[in-house]
A = this chain, B = another copy of it.
Amino acid sequence: MTNSSDIPQLPSTDPLQNPPQLLTGNWYEYPVTAHPHTTDYAGIVWHGSYIAWLEEARVECLAQKGINFAELVAWGCDLPVVELAIRYHQPIQMGTRVIVKTQMAGINGVRVNWDYQIQSADGKHLYATARVTLVPVDREKGKIMRQLPAAVKDALTKLADG
């Protein structure tokens, strides 16, 4: 056993207790379907397939607020993921249509946090919750920016205000 102080650890939960609850708030809703290619041997969505869904929902949410991600990258600012934490509460069966709900959850220095809830179309099942953290990177220098570009910060602040 090592001193694992640097390993990212989530607060403990008991998977047999404490069912998570749907949160209210100002969420952007992105519908997806559990197509065959997202599933694994168990007939449910493979845990890694969710990561693509989180990204798609985030990119579409930004697009709705006027930030075209491909253009942002073309302009020289990338927004790579530096942290990702996800809890899988219930499996998603092949063919299920689910809603990926996301909202920008605050800016902390250059860190931009996004929260997620993946739920059933009828809102009765919460399949997963997640948080993803992005930082701005200057593509030319290959370094994390010391502050967010003003246009990005403005748009994200509007996102936070709903």
Contact in complex: A84, B81 (CB < 8 Å): no
Contact in complex: A87, B82 (CB < 8 Å): yes
Contact in complex: B109, A47 (CB < 8 Å): no
Q: In the assembled complex, which residues on chain B have CB atoms less than 8 Å from the CB atom of A11?
A: 8-9
Copies of this chain present: 4
* A69 → chain B closest CB, angstroms: 7
Q: In the complex, what residue of chain B is closest to A4 when comparing beta carbons?
A: B115
**Chain A positions near chain B (C-beta within 8 angstroms):** 1-4, 6-16, 20-21, 23-26, 33, 35-37, 39-43, 46-48, 51-52, 55-56, 59-60, 68-71, 73, 78, 80-88, 91, 93-95, 103, 105-106, 108-111, 115-117, 129-131, 133, 135, 139, 144, 146, 160
Q: What are 28 of the A-B contact pairs (CB < 8 Å)?
A: A1-B26, A1-B105, A2-B23, A2-B25, A2-B115, A7-B23, A7-B105, A7-B116, A7-B130, A7-B131, A8-B10, A12-B108, A15-B111, A15-B144, A35-B59, A36-B41, A36-B46, A39-B41, A41-B43, A42-B73, A42-B78, A42-B139, A47-B80, A69-B94, A80-B88, A80-B91, A83-B86, A83-B88
